[in-house]
Amino acid sequence: MNEAGLLSKLIPDFGKIVAMMQFSMYHHYTVDEHLIRCIGVLAEIERGDGEKVHPLSHSLMPGLKKSREALYVAVLLHDVAK
């Protein structure tokens, strides 16, 4: 969706962070790649794949079923304003 430009069409501010570099020792990816990877990590935790790496998140996830969609939106948009 990102490579096809669909995310930028659906979320205009997303287009501003496509291929945006972050110059610090803490950032290894562009902003858009970071957001997409965050969604992937969240999906892994939800599937139960991240129990060893993210034990607290894994244990909290079942209690967030009602807020699941809001959590995914928050993770997707958390850096859009950079």
pLDDT of residue 5: 87
* 62 domain residue, yes or no: yes
Percent of the chain clearing pLDDT 90 (strictly above): 68
DSSP for 11-79, please give it.
SGGGGGGTT----STT--S-HHHHHHHHHHHHHHHHHTTTTTT-HHHHHHGGGGGGGHHHHHHHHHHTT
Q: pTM for the whole thing?
A: 0.86
pLDDT tens digits for range 6-42: 999 999 999 999 999 988 888 889 999 999 999 999 9
When divided into structural domains, the chain yields a total of: 1
Do the domain assignments include residue 82? Answer: no
Q: Please provide the size of the chain in residues.
A: 82
> Is residue 11 a part of any domain in this protein?
yes
Assigned domain for 1 exists? no
Site of tokens 């669909």: 6
- Quote the domain boundaries for residue 69: 6-77
